[in-house]
Amino acid sequence: MMMVDSFTKVFLVAVCLSTFSFGSLEDLTRWYYFCSNATTLTGNIVYAANVDQLFSYLSTKATEHDGFFNTTAGQEPNMVYGLFLCRGDARPEICRDCINLAAADVVKLCPNQSWAIIWYNQCMLRYSNRSIFSSMAERPNVSLSYRVDAMEPYRFNRLVATVMKDIATRAPNATSRTKKFSTKEATFNAFQTLYSLAQCTPDISSEDCYRCLQDAIADLQFHLGGKQSGFAMYPSCTAQYQTSPFYSLNQTGLAKPPVSPQHPLLLPPPPPPGKRGISSQTVIKIVVSTVGFLVLSCFLCCVLGWKATKKLTARKTRNDELKAMALQSLRFDLSIIEAATKNFAEVNKIGAGGFGSVYKNLKNKDS
């Protein structure tokens, strides 16, 4: 076996580019791609030729199948399975140009690979050496953002979650039978509107579409919470939001969102789960009651302290008076003492100590 020669690849790219409406190329932006780097098919000229044939066939069908088409090329064991999905609002010529550009790019980005997937802002192209039809796939996937922080991130995240949940419910049951696609706008404030989009490949069931979108939205909220834009790209679904328009606002045959409020959402965010909000009136009542209790407590403490001090002062004064009276009762005139001791007669002296002599009192009990 031998590799596809360079002339064949150049010819394929030239064929794809020759069908472009170059005026639309400026509207096409490559977002991301994955290649089967671990499984290359170097030397398998049959499989490589089938990939080229697949891309050529998909390109011719890009304007005929309402934005989605899947097919195969070649025979087993070298059969190639491929599909494309254009964004639900993309015009047929935009879809064709996007698929042609994706096919030309993937030849250069993923040469000789057994599978690859590439996303643009207007389309997705995917091929594999195994069947990829009618089955929901979530790997590989990627989440991207412009990394611009939103004002009031908590309230913005709430709005994103509400809107994305709504379109994830409506997209699987879109009125168009060939498109699982839905968009919605919601006003965030006087200067910003949230634009959101959800889409699945039409070949999977409504249940699988809903499950895929739920996982994609969960990735957006986990990795990109608080950002003004987010893009979650899975093989079977896409979820996007942004604060500037990125899709056509005049669409027919799609799941229509309800009319969004025309005035800004000015309600404050609710408290965290498990906690109840407290109104301003309740806060004022609590503050006034607390301050009143503190003032009354301080007043009572001052009154009780003053009374205790006054009582203590009165008690001390009374004790001083009693001591003075006791001292006064122990004092005698000298004439009384001389009479009692017969002028300090030695016969009346009964002893002596450090404070002086001690005499007995000879006065009778009635004196």
The answer to whether 181 and 171 have CB atoms below 8 angstroms apart is: yes
Q: Do 170 and 230 belong together in one domain?
A: yes
pLDDT given for residue 331 in this prediction: 62
Domain assignment of residue 324, yes or no? no
pLDDT given for residue 311 in this prediction: 80
Domain assignment of residue 73, yes or no? yes
Q: How confident is the model at residue 356 (pLDDT cuts 50, 70, 90)?
A: confident
Ranking 57-61, 142-146, 278-282, 349-353 by mean pLDDT, the lowest is: 278-282
Q: What is the mean pLDDT of residues 247-257?
A: 59
Domain assignment of residue 15, yes or no? yes
State yes or no: pLDDT of 366 exceeds 80.
Answer: no
Ranking 20-24, 28-32, 34-38, 295-299 by mean pLDDT, the lowest is: 20-24
pLDDT given for residue 337 in this prediction: 75
Q: Which H helix or E strand runs over 329?
A: helix 280-329
Q: What is the mean pLDDT of the chain?
A: 79
Buried/exposed code over 236-260 (b: 16+ C-beta within 10 A; e: otherwise): bbbbbbbbeebbeeebeebbebeee
State yes or no: pLDDT of 332 exceeds 80.
Answer: no
Give the separation between CA 54 and CA 309, rounded to whole angstroms. Answer: 104
Domain assignment of residue 210, yes or no? yes
Residue with tokens 């009031």: 152
pLDDT given for residue 328 in this prediction: 60
Residue 51, domain CATH: 3.30.430.20
Residue with tokens 């806060």: 283
Q: How confident is the model at residue 177 (pLDDT cuts 50, 70, 90)?
A: low
Q: What is the mean pLDDT of residues 230-243?
A: 94
Domain assignment of residue 310, yes or no? no
Domain assignment of residue 60, yes or no? yes
More confident residue, 44 or 361: 44
Ranking 8-22, 187-201, 310-324, 337-351 by mean pLDDT, the lowest is: 8-22
More confident residue, 177 or 288: 288
Distances (CA, A) of 131 to 83, 128, 299, 351: 10, 7, 86, 134
Residue with tokens 């009618």: 134
Distances (CA, A) of 160 to 142, 193, 243, 312, 325: 19, 11, 10, 72, 93
Neighbours of 25 (CB within 10 A): 13
pLDDT given for residue 269 in this prediction: 42
Q: Do 48 and 114 belong together in one domain?
A: yes
Q: What is the CA radius of gyration of the chain?
A: 49
Q: Do 94 and 151 belong together in one domain?
A: no
**Which residues make beta-bridge pairs with 186?**
194
pLDDT given for residue 36 in this prediction: 87
Closest by alpha carbon to 49, among 100, 105, 103, 9?
9
Q: Do 113 and 149 belong together in one domain?
A: no
Domain assignment of residue 295, yes or no? no
Q: What is the mean pLDDT of residues 227-239?
A: 94
Q: Do 94 and 165 belong together in one domain?
A: no
Q: Kindly state the percentage of the chain with pLDDT values over 70.
A: 75
Q: Do 106 and 13 belong together in one domain?
A: yes
pLDDT given for residue 249 in this prediction: 76
Q: What is the mean pLDDT of residues 308-334?
A: 71
Counting runs of H as helices and runs of E as strands, what totals does the chain give?
Answer: 7, 12
Q: Map residue 28 onto helix, strand or coil.
A: coil
In tens, the pLDDT along 96-120 reads 999 999 999 999 999 889 999 999 9
pLDDT given for residue 284 in this prediction: 78
Q: What is the DSSP string of 214-268?
A: HHHHHHHHHHHTTBSEEEEE-SSEEEEEESS--S-S--SSSBPPPPPPSS---PP
Maximal C-alpha separation, the chain: 158
Sign of CA pseudo-dihedral 268, 274, 279, 284: negative
Ranking 102-111, 169-178, 287-296, 300-309 by mean pLDDT, the lowest is: 169-178
In tens, the pLDDT along 117-146 reads 999 999 999 999 999 999 999 999 999 887
Question: Which positions ≥6 away from 92 have C-beta within 8 Å?
Answer: 62, 63
Question: Which positions ≥6 away from 261 have C-beta within 8 Å?
Answer: 186, 187
Q: Do 22 and 104 belong together in one domain?
A: yes
**Domain stop point among 86, 106, 128:** 128
Q: Map residue 273 onto helix, strand or coil.
A: coil
Cα atoms in the Cβ-side hemisphere of radius 13 Å centred on 284: 3
Q: What is the mean pLDDT of residues 216-240?
A: 91
Domain assignment of residue 120, yes or no? yes
Q: How many folded domains does the chain comprise?
A: 3
Q: Do 118 and 150 belong together in one domain?
A: no
Q: Residue 130 is which amino acid?
A: R
- Structural domain including 192 reads 142-242
Q: How confident is the model at residue 340 (pLDDT cuts 50, 70, 90)?
A: confident
Q: Kindly state the percentage of the chain with pLDDT values over 90.
A: 45
**Domain stop point among 71, 97, 128:** 128
Q: What is the mean pLDDT of residues 69-76?
A: 93
In tens, the pLDDT along 9-28 reads 434 444 444 444 444 455 89
State yes or no: pLDDT of 262 exceeds 60.
Answer: no
pLDDT given for residue 355 in this prediction: 67
Q: Do 43 and 114 belong together in one domain?
A: yes
**Domain stop point among 128, 156, 184:** 128
**Which residues make beta-bridge pairs with 358?**
351
